[in-house]
Structure 1
Amino acid sequence: MTLISFVVPAFKVQGYLRECLDSILDQPFDDVEVIGIDDASPDDSGEILVEYAERDPRVHPVRLAENVGLGPARNIGLDRATGDYVWFVDGDDWLVPGCLPHVADRLRATRPDVLIVDHVRAHWNNVGTRSAMRDVFPEPPGEATFRLRERPETLRLLHTAWNRLVRREFLVAQGLRFAPGWYEDVSFSYPVLLAADRIGVLDRVCLNYRQRRTGAITRTRGDRHFEVFAQWHRVFRLMDQWGPAVVDGLRPAVFERMIWHYLTVLGNGQRIAPELRPPFFAQIHADHVRFLPPEGYPVPPGLEGVKHRLVATGRWRVFSALRVAHQAEERARRSARRAKRRVLPVARRNARRARDAALREYYRAELHRPLDPTLAVYAAYWYRGYSCNPAAIYTAARRLAPHVRGVWIVRRDRVAGLPPGVEYVVAGTPDYYRVLARARWLVNNVNFPDFVRKRPGAVHVQTHHGTPVKVMGLDQQRYPLGAVGMNFANLLRRVDRWDYSISSNSFSTQMWERAYPADYTTLEVGYPRNDRLALATDEECRQVRAGLGIGPDEYVVLYAPTHREHLPGWRPPFDPDRLRDVLGPSGRLLMRSHYFHDRERQLRGGVADGAVLDVSGYDRVEDLYLAADVLVTDYSSAMFDYGVLDRPIVVYAPDWDAYRVSRGVYFDLLAEPPGAVAVDFPGLLDLFRSGAVRGAAAEQARQRFRARFCALDDGHAAERVVRRVFLDEPA
Structure 2
Amino acid sequence: MRSFILNKCRSLLIKVYSVLFQLFALLPRNKKLILFESYSGKQFSCNPRAIYEYLQENKDRYDYKLIWSIDKRYMSALEGVNVAYIKRFSFKWLWYMATAKYWITNSRLPLWIPKPKKTLYVQTWHGTPLKKLANDMDEVHMPGTTTEKYKQNFLREASKWDYLISPNAYSTNIFRSAFQFKKTFIESGYPRNDFLHKENRKKEMLKIKERLGINSEKKIILYAPTWRDNSFYAQGKYKFNMVLDLESLKNQLSNEYILILRMHYLVSENINLTKYKEFAYDFSDHNDIRELYLISDILITDYSSVFFDFAGLKRPILFYVPDIEFYRDKLRGFYYDFEKCAPGPLLKTTEKVIEAIHQTKHYKQDENITSFYDQFCYLEKGNSSKKVVEEILG
TM-score, scaled to structure 2:
0.89
Task: Work out whether 1:402 is the aligned partner of 2:62.
Answer: yes
CA displacement at 1:397 relative to structure 2 = 1.9
Map of 2:311 onto structure 1: 643
1:67-82 matches, within 5 Å, as: none
8 Å contact from structure 1 (residues 554, 587) kept in 2 = yes
CA displacement at 1:413 relative to structure 2 = 2.1
Task: Work out whether 1:508 is the aligned partner of 2:168.
Answer: no
- Following the alignment from structure 1 to structure 2, what is the Cα–Cα distance between the partners of residues 605 and 373? 48
CA displacement at 1:680 relative to structure 2 = 2.4
Map of 1:562 onto structure 2: 226
8 Å contact from structure 2 (residues 300, 318) kept in 1 = yes
For structure 1, the residue ranges without an aligned partner over 5 or more in a row are: 1-345
Secondary structure of the corresponding residue to residue 481 of structure 1: coil
Secondary structure of the corresponding residue to residue 175 of structure 2: helix
Task: Work out whether 1:492 is the aligned partner of 2:155.
Answer: yes
Task: Work out whether 1:435 is the aligned partner of 2:96.
Answer: yes
Map of 2:191 onto structure 1: 528
CA displacement at 1:677 relative to structure 2 = 2.6
Deviations 1:288-326 (A, max 9, x none): xxxxxxxxxxxxxxxxxxxxxxxxxxxxxxxxxxxxxxx
Map of 2:235 onto structure 1: none
CA displacement at 1:693 relative to structure 2 = 6.6
Map of 2:369 onto structure 1: 702
Map of 2:299 onto structure 1: 631
CA displacement at 1:657 relative to structure 2 = 1.0
Task: Work out whether 1:713 is the aligned partner of 2:374.
Answer: no
Letter matched to residue 121 of structure 2: H
Higher relative contact order (CA 8 A, sep 6+): 2
Task: Work out whether 1:372 is the aligned partner of 2:33.
Answer: no
Map of 2:251 onto structure 1: 581
Map of 1:363 onto structure 2: 21
- Following the alignment from structure 1 to structure 2, what is the Cα–Cα distance between the partners of residues 349 and 647? 48
Which of 333, 340, 346 is equivalent to 1:664?
333
Deviations 1:264-310 (A, max 9, x none): xxxxxxxxxxxxxxxxxxxxxxxxxxxxxxxxxxxxxxxxxxxxxxx
Secondary structure of the corresponding residue to residue 374 of structure 1: strand
8 Å contact from structure 2 (residues 24, 95) kept in 1 = yes
Letter matched to residue 379 of structure 1: E
Distance 1:355 1:495, change over 3 A: closer
8 Å contact from structure 1 (residues 408, 422) kept in 2 = yes
Distance 1:503 1:350, change over 3 A: closer
Map of 2:71 onto structure 1: 411
Larger radius of gyration: 1
- Following the alignment from structure 1 to structure 2, what is the Cα–Cα distance between the partners of residues 480 and 349? 24
- Following the alignment from structure 2 to structure 1, what is the Cα–Cα distance between the partners of residues 240 and 288? 25
Percentage identity across paired residues of the two chains = 27
For structure 2, the residue ranges without an aligned partner over 5 or more in a row are: 233-238
CA displacement at 1:567 relative to structure 2 = 3.0
8 Å contact from structure 2 (residues 247, 276) kept in 1 = no
Distance 1:489 1:638, change over 3 A: same
1:174-185 matches, within 5 Å, as: none
CA displacement at 1:518 relative to structure 2 = 2.8
Secondary structure of the corresponding residue to residue 376 of structure 1: strand
Map of 1:160 onto structure 2: none
Letter matched to residue 713 of structure 1: E
Distance 1:377 1:616, change over 3 A: same
Distance 1:626 1:681, change over 3 A: same
Map of 1:571 onto structure 2: 241
8 Å contact from structure 1 (residues 575, 605) kept in 2 = no
- Following the alignment from structure 2 to structure 1, what is the Cα–Cα distance between the partners of residues 44 and 118? 26
Task: Work out whether 1:673 is the aligned partner of 2:345.
Answer: no
Distance 1:348 1:629, change over 3 A: closer
Which of 194, 199, 213 is equivalent to 1:549?
213
Distance 1:348 1:454, change over 3 A: closer
Which of 132, 139, 142 is equivalent to 1:479?
139
Secondary structure of the corresponding residue to residue 431 of structure 1: helix
8 Å contact from structure 2 (residues 262, 282) kept in 1 = yes
- Following the alignment from structure 1 to structure 2, what is the Cα–Cα distance between the partners of residues 686 and 355? 55
CA displacement at 1:376 relative to structure 2 = 0.9
**RMSD (Å) for aligned C-alpha atoms:** 2.3
Letter matched to residue 382 of structure 1: S
TM-score, scaled to structure 1:
0.49
8 Å contact from structure 2 (residues 18, 113) kept in 1 = no
Q: Which runs of 4+ in 1 moved over 6 A?
A: 346-350
CA displacement at 1:495 relative to structure 2 = 0.8
CA displacement at 1:474 relative to structure 2 = 0.2
Deviations 1:536-576 (A, max 9, x none): 12211111122222333201111111111123335252111
Which of 275, 279, 282 is equivalent to 1:611?
279
Q: How many residues align?
A: 377
Map of 2:39 onto structure 1: 381
- Following the alignment from structure 2 to structure 1, what is the Cα–Cα distance between the partners of residues 142 and 338? 18
- Following the alignment from structure 1 to structure 2, what is the Cα–Cα distance between the partners of residues 481 and 349? 23
Task: Work out whether 1:457 is the aligned partner of 2:115.
Answer: no
1:265-414 matches, within 5 Å, as: 354-400=12-58, 401-414=61-74
CA displacement at 1:364 relative to structure 2 = 1.7
Deviations 1:361-403 (A, max 9, x none): 3212101111111111111111112111001111112233532
Map of 1:254 onto structure 2: none
CA displacement at 1:352 relative to structure 2 = 5.6
